[in-house]
Amino acid sequence: MTENPNPTPSPAVDGVVDVTGTPTDVAPVASGRLVVAVDGPSGSGKSSVSKQVARSLGAVYLDTGAMYRAAAWHCVNEGVDLDDADAVTEAVRGMELTQSTDPDSEHIAVGGHDVTEAIRTPEVTAVVSRVAGVIPVREILQGRQRAEIERAGRIVAEGRDVTTVVAPDAEARVLLTASEQVRMARRSGQLAAAASGVDAETLKAQVAGRDRTDSAHSSFERPADGVTLVDSSELDFDQTVAAVLAAVQLQAGAPAVEGHRP
């Protein structure tokens, strides 16, 4: 699945949101509430697909996984002992986090420091599950995610427990998956494009390890009741986006998809 290099610009232009608490510099959202929750394992394509779905729906976009990465970066940067759950929790509780919800512009800052690229490094990837596995940390970040979803009103939020824990009452819920072979190939291509230098065996171990650790806290391998499964193993990017949009319309109805209250 290759992402369309020329995506349609989003009609919903949003500012940077302080997900620590109070939204700042936020433009009005499009009319009509529509919450789309998308979950899936690593390499399923949920980030690129969710961004394009948000553009198509005139919605903002929330990458919940980036919050956990930002929390991991913050703990490492502050020298927090990752084996001390209480210390990790307090560090995340006090973290000042701002995150763009514009699907066309990713920007993440911690304490005013731009960490948009830093949170995607192998060093952060290697420890993010240790931070995300701390239950109070998950509760803190899930609370911030719910607040942003409620504030936005018209939003596509993606992650690993959005359909079941963060937004179980979303108007549309989708589990996006693909075969392990396809997911590994996609992640390998992403890392190669980023010149990360991660070899195939290390990548496989990282992805499998993260999925295994996260599956202890999140249900992203099988769809929960009311969640539509989209398997993109044999679909290209545009076909996957179309399948997710079809699932959204089936669940939420055409008026919601078109931007009007049902």
What letter does residue 28 receive in the DSSP assignment? P
Hey, is 100 helix, strand or coil? strand
42 annotated ligand-binding residue: yes
Confidence (pLDDT) at 257: 83
- The alpha carbon of residue 20 and the mean position of all alpha carbons in its chain are separated, in whole angstroms, by 17
Chunked mean pLDDT (size 10), the chain, 262 residues: 51 44 36 89 90 96 97 98 98 97 96 96 92 96 97 95 96 93 72 53 61 58 89 93 96 80 36
40 annotated ligand-binding residue: yes
What is the reported pTM?
0.80
Confidence (pLDDT) at 186: 72
Residue type, 251: Q
Alpha helix stretches (DSSP H) within the chain: 46-57, 64-77, 85-93, 122-125, 128-132, 135-152, 180-193, 200-214, 237-252, 254-257
Structural domains present in the chain: 16-26+33-252 (3.40.50.300)
9 annotated ligand-binding residue: no
Strands in 162-242 per DSSP E: 172-177, 228-231
32 annotated ligand-binding residue: no
Q: Could you tell me the maximum CA-CA distance found in the chain, to the nearest angstrom? A: 50
Tokens linked to 180:
């392990």
Alpha carbon distance 257, 221 (integer Å):
26
Hey, is 105 helix, strand or coil? strand
**Cα dihedral sign, 120-102-170-255:** negative
51 annotated ligand-binding residue: no
100 annotated ligand-binding residue: no
218 annotated ligand-binding residue: no
Confidence (pLDDT) at 261: 37
CB 15 within 8 A of CB 26: yes
Confidence (pLDDT) at 4: 55
Q: Which residue's entry shows tokens 């990837």?
A: 125
Query: How many Cβ atoms from other residues are within 10 Å of residue 22's Cβ?
Result: 10
Residue type, 13: V
Confidence (pLDDT) at 223: 87
Q: Exposed, middle or buried: residue 5 (CB in 10 Å: 0-12, 13-18, 19+)?
A: exposed
112 annotated ligand-binding residue: no
Confidence (pLDDT) at 16: 46
219 annotated ligand-binding residue: no
Alpha carbon distance 15, 190 (integer Å):
27
Residue type, 256: A
Confidence (pLDDT) at 215: 57
